Amino acid sequence: MAGKDSSSSDLKRSLGLRHVFVLSTGAMVSSGLFLLPSFAAAKSGPSAVLAYLIAGILAIPAMFSVAELSTAMPRAGGSYYFLARALGPVGGTVTGVATWLSLVMKDAFALVGMSAYLTLIVDLPGKLTAVCLIAFFTLLNIVGSKTSASVQMALVAFLLAVMGWYLITGLPKVGGGSGELDPFFTHGTSGLVSAIGLVFVSYGGLTKVASVAEEIEDPSRNIPLGMILSLIVSTTVYTLGVLVAVALVPSSQLYNDLAPIHTAAEAFMPAVGAGFVIAAALAAFASAANAGILAAARYPMAMSRDGLMSSTFLSMSRFGTPFWGILLTGTGMAVIVIAFGAGAIAKLASAFVLLTLALVNAAVIILRFARIASYAPGFRSPFFPYLQIFGIGVAIYLIIKLGPLPLILIAAVIGLTLIWFYYFGRDKSAHSAGAIHHIFERLGQAADTSIDREISAAMQSHGLRSEDDYAGLIARAAVISVPVEGEIDLAATRASQVLGNRIGIDAEEVNECFLETGSLWIQPSDTHPTATPVAFFDNSEDDHLVIVRSENGIVIPAEWGGRGERVNALFFLAGTSSKPGRALRLAGELAAYLHDDGSAVAADAAHEAEVKQALLPGLEIGQYPLLSETAIGSLIGKKLGEINLDPGLHIEAIRRDGKVLRADPETELLADDQLTIIAPTGTLPSGEELADKV
């Protein structure tokens, strides 16, 4: 069955593969292509071409890590969300500030490049122009202007078309240009390594996808595939684009050029083509800076929600934008542009991008080793943990090779951030201690069980895959009620008895597994709040659901992951250990329906079918007991596969001797079996009509 209509969600899952590709590519191809090549060539000579290629390859571990984290916790809010949940409040504070600074410096560098290309049209002072551009885009973000997905796709299409023209025209001339390709390694291996570290800022846009993961359809497929395609295309454009520039522009001119791609284009393209290069560069800079400021402004806001920064950053302008976060970001960019030259900004931006990507790799290692039951990413990075360890090592090495200035600034930022945390954020931090405490548990210290529930809740945004049988789960569910003064222990005992019978294990073991897992989230409501505990079982080959209702409510105590909340119903979901992600996606789909309307599970609902039908809008459920004295009794002895139902009708389960069986076509029907059929509203057949389907 298809997932719930996204219209009812806070954020629609409306972005497909092309949007992921466009978002990632648009975030990467800007200053790294149109401004940075001259600085890279000054460090390494013609081998700057190789520096871009190697940097793209070295970005692969971080790309896989971002894809894994984004499919495990598809929440809006960027990489800070999963870094803070992995590393806890201390690590979250450091990573939040570091990631914010990487975006600020990357965007500042983009606007330095934009000012350089503007001077090709109008004679303007470089730094003053860059500061004015920062002020303009800061104001633009405050009033709420943002590029739509369709405009962004048009922009990236234009950018790639212009670069395609540039490459098709320029590559045949590489051998006969006035640039110098020999000696290729002008400054030796050390120069090449320094250039690799410098150009890493070009791939900082890889983390951009994380900020919109909640809005992506089928994130398990589209996020990794879109990022892989984007990295391949971006690396190709970078490498070949820089090759043309290095081969056709003399080094004496290239090393001091702030518009190297345009200079190269003038050597072999008609005037209109060189003009298009300027237009493409300005569009890329503008898009990257505009989107980057808003993305960076989310970090102070997200940290404020977690109690790590002043609540001032939660304030919205009258335009509905995070005013103080945008203002802080714009001010930071202006300070960087005034204080540092373009080359220093490039170094610092790359250093903080490398630091952020190293932390992303570390987060995957921590979350995997924490063995959190609810951490079930739709995409898992290959070659774990070797790929992540390699990525961390490379990032540290390249940061060191960038020189003392980035190291000093990184150390100063970490030191000041820790002081800030211990004097301000430690007592106010609202979120959990992080997944790293699950590793401490394995060393004999206390685990932070709340992070398990939070990651579990994040799966609500994941959406269903084609193989996730939500309709079947609801159809097979058991619905029971507890007394007016029901307690959670009684509810859990009753649910465990049903689940133990279905799974084939002792009910007490089922109950203990729910308590140990600690994976629970609550769907609040003024009238009908509900809660969904989730546990995983090795013995189970399928997912099972038991709905427990209470007229006066059931209190969720701390040992069950609550804070004394009273709910009208509990949805005990028993998943299989071999496919934990499937159970979490099903729980998320269920939670999305309950968030809209929990009244359907109220204790005064007429009957079991009414409860189930309310969780399957547009469908209805029919239950058909096979009694030999009735017309439908003619199905006894037949196989399910012999029943030819009309299109849209599905036999979802067979209830037999207190157990619920999957609808296998080879299953032979027995007397007293009960068939459960799901059909579009108004199309359920009568018993006599069903008997005629054989």
Residues 6+ apart with CB under 8 A from 392: 358, 361, 362
Query: What was the pLDDT predicted at 370?
Result: 78
pLDDT: which is higher, 175 or 70: 70
DSSP state of 15: B
Q: Is residue 686 in a domain?
A: yes
pLDDT at 602 over 60: no
3-state helix, strand, coil in the chain (%, to 5): 60, 10, 30
In the predicted structure, residue 563 carries a pLDDT above the cut 80: no
- H/E element, 552: strand 544-556
Looking at per-residue confidence, does 457 or 519 come out higher? 519
Q: What number of residues does the chain have?
A: 694
Report the pLDDT value the prediction gives residue 177, as an integer from 0 to 100. Answer: 61
Q: b/e string for 229-263 if b means 16 or more Cβ within 10 A?
A: bbbebbbebbbbbbbbbbbbbebeebbebbbbbbb
Q: Does the pLDDT at position 304 exceed 60?
A: yes
- The whole-angstrom distance between residue 308's C-alpha and the CA centroid of its chain comes to 22
Of 572, 596, 614, the position where a domain reaches its end is: 614
**Predicted local distance difference test score (pLDDT) of residue 431:** 47
Has residue 211 got a pLDDT over 90?
Answer: no
pLDDT digits (tens, 9 = 90+) for 444-469: 444 455 555 566 555 555 566 667 78
pLDDT computed for residue 460 by the predictor: 52
pLDDT of residue 568: 84
Whole-number Å distance between alpha carbons of 483 and 490? 9
The most confident of the ranges 45-59, 99-113, 467-481, 640-654 is 45-59
pTM for the structure as a whole:
0.73
Residue whose token pair is 């997944």: 435
Distance CA 590, CA 587 (A): 5
163 and 88 in one domain? yes
User: Could you tell me whether strands 565-576 and 530-537 are parallel, antiparallel, or unpaired per DSSP bridges?
Assistant: parallel
Tell whether 78 is covered by a domain: yes
Higher pLDDT, 507 or 13: 507
**Residue 179 DSSP one-character state:** S
As a whole-number percent, the residues of the chain with pLDDT over 90 amount to 33
pLDDT in the model for residue 208: 75
Residues 308, 369 share a domain: yes
Q: Is residue 534 part of a domain?
A: yes
Stated as kind and residue range, the H or E segment containing 556 is: strand 544-556
Within a domain: 447: no
Q: Is the pLDDT of residue 167 over 90?
A: yes
| Model confidence at 569: pLDDT above 60 | yes
Q: What is the DSSP string of 182-224?
A: SSSSTTHHHHHHHHHHHHGGGGGGGGGGGGGGGGBSSHHHHHH
Confidence band for 335, pLDDT divided at 50, 70 and 90: very high
| CB-CB contact of 20 with 223 (8 Å) | yes
Query: Of 594, 614, 634, which closes a domain?
Result: 614
Cα separation, 492 vs 275, in Å, equals 70
Q: Whole-angstrom Cα distance, residue 295 to residue 103?
A: 8
| CA 140 to the chain's CA centroid | 27
Does residue 681 lie in a domain region?
yes
pLDDT confidence of residue 389: 97
CATH number of the domain that 517 lies in?
3.40.930.10
Q: Could you give the strand order of the β-sheet that contains 544-556, starting from the edge strand earlier in sequence?
A: 478-481, 544-556, 565-576, 530-537, 519-523
> If pLDDT is split at 50, 70 and 90, which confidence band does 435 have?
low
Q: Is 603 helix (H, G, I), strand (E, B) or coil?
A: coil
Q: Band the pLDDT of 242: cuts 50, 70, 90.
A: very high
Average confidence (pLDDT) over 126-139? 89
CB 36 within 8 A of CB 198: yes
The answer to the question of residue 636 being in a domain is yes
What total of structural domains would you count in the chain?
3
Mean pLDDT of 582-603: 68
**Distance separating alpha carbons of residues 496 and 505, to the nearest angstrom:** 10
Task: Report how far apart, in Å, the C-alpha atoms of 488 and of each of 132, 506, 561, 568, 600 are.
Answer: 61, 19, 12, 11, 20
Highest mean pLDDT among 377-386, 406-415, 475-484: 406-415
Lowest mean pLDDT among 171-175, 182-186, 556-560: 556-560
pLDDT at 598 over 90: no
In whole angstroms, give the CA distance from residue 378 to residue 381: 10
C-beta of residue 261 within 8 angstroms of C-beta of residue 33 = yes
Give which of 577, 490, 562, 478 is closest to 521, Cα–Cα.
562
Q: pLDDT-derived band of residue 488, with 50, 70 and 90 as boundaries? A: confident
What integer is the mean pLDDT of 278-291?
87
Residue 197 banded pLDDT, cuts 50, 70, 90: very high
357 or 458: whose pLDDT is higher? Answer: 357
Give helix 48-58 / helix 386-401 axis angle, nearest 10°.
140
Domain final residue, candidates 614, 642, 670? 614
Q: Which two tokens stand for residue 197?
A: 């570290």
Q: What is the CATH number of the domain that holds 417?
A: 1.20.1740.10
**Residue 7 within a domain:** no
Q: Is the Cβ–Cβ distance between 414 and 362 less than 8 Å?
A: no
Task: Please check whether residues 604 and 639 belong to one and the same domain.
Answer: no
Q: Kindly state whether residues 401 and 505 are assigned to the same domain.
A: no
Q: In terms of pLDDT, which residue wins out, 112 or 10?
A: 112
Supply the range of the domain harboring residue 26: 16-427
**For residue 552, what pLDDT band results from cuts at 50, 70 and 90?**
confident
Interhelix angle for 79-118 vs 126-142, to 10°? Answer: 130
pLDDT digits (tens, 9 = 90+) for 392-406: 999 999 999 999 999
Q: What is the mean pLDDT of the chain?
A: 82
Q: Output 644 or 61, whichever has higher pLDDT.
A: 61
Cα four-point dihedral sign 467, 472, 474, 476: negative
- Angle, helices 37-44 vs 48-58, to 10°: value is 110
The answer to whether residues 187 and 317 belong to one domain is yes
Q: Please name every residue paired with 555 in a beta bridge, in sequence order, or none if there are none.
A: 566
Q: Give the pLDDT of residue 2.
A: 40
Q: How far apart are CA 460 and CA 462, in angstroms?
A: 6
Q: pLDDT (tens digit, 9 = 90+) per residue, 656-693? A: 887 778 788 888 999 999 988 888 888 888 888 888 87
The encoded tokens of residue 681 equal: 């509203």
My answer on whether 608 and 629 are in the same domain is: no
pLDDT of residue 213: 67
Most confident range, picked from 49-63, 68-82, 125-139: 49-63
165 pLDDT more than 90: yes
Cis omega before residue 524 (within 30°)?
no
Q: Give the pLDDT confidence score for residue 457 in this predicted structure.
A: 55
Q: What is the mean pLDDT of residues 592-599?
A: 61
- How many angstroms from the chain centroid is the CA of residue 131? 33
- Sheet of strand 619-625, all strands in order from the earlier edge strand to the far edge: 619-625, 674-680, 650-656, 659-662
| Bridging pattern class, strands 659-662 and 650-656 | antiparallel
In the predicted model, is pLDDT for residue 156 greater than 60? yes
Same domain membership, residue 293 and residue 394: yes
Do 398 and 545 have their domain in common?
Answer: no
The pLDDT assigned to 579 comes to 81
524 and 401 part of one domain = no
Q: What is the pLDDT of residues 89-124, one digit of tens each?
A: 788 788 888 888 988 998 899 999 999 999 888 888
| 345 lies in some domain | yes
Question: What mean pLDDT do residues 526-540 have?
Answer: 83
In terms of domains, do 244 and 289 share one? yes
pLDDT at residue 289 in the model: 82
Q: Are residues 476 and 407 in the same domain?
A: no
Residue 153 to residues 15, 206, 275, 296, Cα–Cα distance (Å): 12, 17, 21, 21
Residues 141 and 285 in one domain: yes
Give helix 219-248 / helix 60-72 axis angle, nearest 10°.
160
Q: How confident is the model at residue 423 (pLDDT cuts 50, 70, 90)?
A: confident
